[in-house]
Amino acid sequence: MKLGLIQCDYVPTLLQSSFKDYPVMFEKAFNQCDPDLDWTVIDICGGNHDVDVQDFDGFIISGSRSSVNDPKLWIEELLNLIKRIIEREVPLVGLCFGHQAIAKSLGGLVSKSKTGWNIGCVPVELTAAGKNILNVAQHSYLYAFHQDNVETLPENARLIGSTEICENFIVEFKKGVIGFQGHPEFDVTYMQGLLDINIANLDDSKLNSVAATLRKASHSDAVRRFIIQYIKNNQ
């Protein structure tokens, strides 16, 4: 299966010696579930947006330190690319920033969370619809590292799962288009690395509570397997 990874950021410089870059991370994580995945990187934040969407079986949009509301040319190009992918009915999955970008491209509202950063291995409660399509536990755990949320869903979107401070955490926007506010491509060592380099932005109580969540086991592997099957089912 040929997948396009729409890259919207780079691994922070301080972590690159240990974690390389996001394409390496995605291939390692997802190909453990399906070794036959064939990846093409579309570095849209680096200016690559000339994509023939029909050449791909599906797309995954990565996270980013940028906000989808930032006035950046590459974000405008990303929103246009999302619309083209959806118009051609090619399966599309958004993760964190990618989830928010899909929502915005379809008319949803993305804004800063009133509760600040949401970081850690967070519990996700599935809706009735979520239990029908996601083959994971009703109370699942996923890594999260964000301060923007999808506040208002686009028309006809279907809520799949929520967290305590992010209602629209997993959303099926339409058939073949789904978004996760979490990061199934991350592992606990990368989450700890991100936490270490962002320590100045967090108070001691927040740091302690986040560190405690990282001792929980995530359901990232099950979510990655679901994403792969979701793309196959919607080709």
User: Which tokens in the block code for residue 148?
Assistant: 């923007």
pLDDT digits (tens, 9 = 90+) for 130-147: 888 776 666 789 999 999
Q: Which domain holds residue 203?
A: 2-233
pLDDT digits (tens, 9 = 90+) for 35-72: 999 999 999 999 988 899 999 999 999 999 999 999 99
pLDDT digits (tens, 9 = 90+) for 109-138: 999 998 888 899 999 999 988 888 776 666
The dihedral region occupied by 47, where left means phi > 0, alpha psi between -120 and 50, and beta the remainder, is left
Measure the CA–CA gap between 73 and 140, rounded to whole angstroms. 36
Measure the CA–CA gap between 229 and 10, rounded to whole angstroms. 27
Confidence (pLDDT) at 129 = 84
Half-sphere exposure of 23 (CA within 13 A, CB side): 12
Q: How many domains does the chain have?
A: 1
Whole-number Cα distances in Å, 32 to 28, 72, 125, 224, 226: 6, 34, 26, 9, 13
Q: What are phi and psi of 15, to 5 degrees?
A: -110, -5
> Tell me, what CATH number does 43's domain have?
3.40.50.880
